[in-house]
Amino acid sequence: MGKKVLTGITTSGIPHLGNLVGAILPAIIASNRPGISSFLFLADYHSLIKSQDPELTHNSSFEIAASWLACGLNPNEVTFYRQSDVPEIMELAWILSCVTAKGLMNRAHAYKAATNINFEQGTSDLDKSVTMGLFNYPVLMAADILAFNADQVPVGQDQKQHIEMTRDIAARFNHIYGDVFNLPDAVISSEAGILPGIDGRKMSKSYNNTIPIFLDEKALLKAIRKIKTNSLEPGVPKDPETCTVFQLYKAFASISQIEEMEVRYGDGIGWGEAKDILFSLVEEKIKPFREKYSEIIKEKGYLENTLIEGSVKARQAASITLKDVRDAVGIKSFQ
Ligand code: TRP
């Protein structure tokens, strides 16, 4: 079967250019490599941690699934599924929570960030507004990974701690019950894959600075025009390295296009023109994806069937692990 590479996409919000360059395209390229079996899933149960809006949860799953397929993911080459269609994952989450030290979860970044906010606001109950979902988030993530005994987990830097926790939890289980789990490695996406958003900070839903992938042409131009630049006039040489427009351009351009643009910066290109050039390039790259997306989004039946087929494959793999896990803990048939 080769190496198992697994990654999840939380289904909250709509995918943006940062997701495209940092996650979607690299995962699709990696899934085509020989000797790799890819597991890609919509982490829809994870989305309940952040959102309690049923319509948003539902639509986001649908839009994200359509986005991956529109950008070229071939569902026959990978195992592409919804987390919620694989009940073995939830079952494993409980079993893992019974070997997970609470103290380990106390140290999770997402939980600590929530208690810090309470601390800074002088709230006496540091756990105010913290749900068990948020607290248990790393256990669910460990279950996502360990249900398939994945070898590698490509994630952003912010998720590295969760993979370390997954290893801790797996090692603890193996120590108590015998070797069932493989300890997975995180594969951290390179800095080069991180795009700035329109305000220059990392493009992220939480900063509200994203450029969605599937804007129409007009809205895309409008978003690109909003990118923050300094106030240097046309004719004054500009530094590409500190410029958001240039960083975005670089993510889509060829080496020769990048070099040409550097020369234009040295010559003092005006911001309006630089943004127009960026727009033309991004538009050229995403137009075929947008066309495909608008076809797929109309085909609810096709999307549903694709994900159901994916979940059949996923359940085959996960049920093998779960059988070993249940046997190991002593939950099994009397005969
Ligand atoms: N929590 C991850 C994120 O927010 C998404 C995710 C859920 C995931 N389960 C996973 C990633 C398992 C890798 C493996 O980005």
Check whether residue 165 and residue 181 sit in a common domain.
yes
Check whether residue 13 and residue 121 sit in a common domain.
yes
Tell how far the Cα of 153 is from the centroid of ligand 1, in angstroms.
9
Tell how far the Cα of 163 is from the centroid of ligand 1, in angstroms.
9
Residues in the chain: 335
Tell how far the Cα of 187 is from the centroid of ligand 1, in angstroms.
12
Check whether residue 65 and residue 125 sit in a common domain.
yes
Find residue 43's DSSP bridge partners.
10
Tell how far the Cα of 154 is from the centroid of ligand 1, in angstroms.
9
Rounded to 5°, the CA angle 293-286-270 comes to 145
Q: Is residue 176 part of a domain?
A: yes
Query: Burial code of 46-82, b = ≥16 C-beta within 10 A, e = fewer?
Result: bbbbbeeeeebbeebbbbbbbbbbbbebebeebbbbb
pLDDT of residue 13: 82
- CA-closest candidate to residue 317, choices 99, 37, 29, 95: 37
Decide if pLDDT at 216 tops 70: yes
pLDDT of residue 30: 87
Nearest atom of ligand 1 to the alpha carbon of 158: 15
Q: What is the pLDDT of residues 84-97, one digit of tens each?
A: 999 999 999 999 99
pLDDT of residue 14: 85
Dihedral sign, Cα of residue 265, residue 269, residue 274, residue 280: negative
Q: Whose CA is nearest to atom 11 of ligand 1?
A: 8
DSSP SS3 for 88? helix
Check whether residue 263 and residue 322 sit in a common domain.
no
Check whether residue 109 and residue 246 sit in a common domain.
no
Domain count, the chain: 2
Check whether residue 30 and residue 129 sit in a common domain.
yes
Q: What integer is the mean pLDDT of 117-130?
A: 96
**What whole-number distance in Å separates Cα of residue 214 and Cα of residue 84?**
26
Check whether residue 30 and residue 132 sit in a common domain.
yes
Check whether residue 108 and residue 125 sit in a common domain.
yes
Q: What is the pLDDT of residues 246-277, one digit of tens each?
A: 999 999 999 999 999 999 999 999 999 999 99
Tell how far the Cα of 9 is from the centroid of ligand 1, in angstroms.
6
Domain CATH for 253: 1.10.240.10
Check whether residue 136 and residue 170 sit in a common domain.
yes
Take residue 28 and report the two structure tokens written for it.
């699709």
Check whether residue 15 and residue 52 sit in a common domain.
yes
Domain CATH for 176: 3.40.50.620
Q: Is residue 205 part of a domain?
A: no
Decide if pLDDT at 192 tops 70: no
Sheet with 36-43, side-by-side order of all strands: 79-82, 36-43, 3-10, 152-155, 185-188
Q: Is residue 90 part of a domain?
A: yes
End-to-end CA distance of the chain: 32
DSSP SS3 for 185? strand
Decide if pLDDT at 208 tops 80: yes
What pTM value is reported for the model? 0.92
How many CA within 13 A on the CB side of residue 119?
A: 6
**What whole-number distance in Å separates Cα of residue 233 and Cα of residue 164?**
48
pLDDT of residue 250: 94
- CA-closest candidate to residue 20, choices 225, 220, 302: 220
Strands 185-188 and 3-10: unpaired
Q: Which of 4, 5, 10 to mutate to test the pocket of ligand 1 (most atoms within 8 A of CB)?
A: 10
Decide if pLDDT at 1 tops 90: no
Take residue 48 and report the two structure tokens written for it.
């309940």
Nearest atom of ligand 1 to the alpha carbon of 141: 9
Q: Tell me the DSSP string of 216-274.
A: -HHHHHHHHHT-----PPTTS---GGG-HHHHHHHHHS-HHHHHHHHHHHHTT--HHHH
Q: Which of 4, 9, 61 to mutate to test the pocket of ligand 1 (most atoms within 8 A of CB)?
A: 9
Q: What is the pLDDT of residues 19-47, one digit of tens each?
A: 999 889 988 988 888 899 999 999 999 99
Check whether residue 169 and residue 308 sit in a common domain.
yes
Q: Is residue 243 part of a domain?
A: yes
Q: Is residue 201 part of a domain?
A: no
Q: Is residue 200 part of a domain?
A: no
Domain that residue 260 falls in: 214-294
Rounded to 5°, the CA angle 203-199-224 comes to 85
Q: What integer is the mean pLDDT of 46-54?
A: 93
**What whole-number distance in Å separates Cα of residue 306 and Cα of residue 261?**
42
Supply φ then ψ for residue 203, to 5 degrees: -65, 120
Rounded to 5°, the CA angle 263-268-270 comes to 115
Residues lining ligand 1, Cβ inside 6 A:
6-8, 10, 43, 46, 141, 144-145, 153, 155, 159
Q: Which of 4, 5, 7 to mutate to test the pocket of ligand 1 (most atoms within 8 A of CB)?
A: 7
Check whether residue 190 and residue 263 sit in a common domain.
no
Find residue 3's DSSP bridge partners.
36
Q: For the CA atoms of the chain, what is the radius of gyration?
A: 22
Decide if pLDDT at 201 tops 90: yes
Q: Is residue 311 part of a domain?
A: yes
Tell how far the Cα of 335 is from the centroid of ligand 1, in angstroms.
38
**What whole-number distance in Å separates Cα of residue 177 and Cα of residue 192?**
41
Q: Which of 159, 164, 189 to mutate to test the pocket of ligand 1 (most atoms within 8 A of CB)?
A: 159
Q: What integer is the mean pLDDT of 150-174?
A: 95
Q: Is residue 144 part of a domain?
A: yes
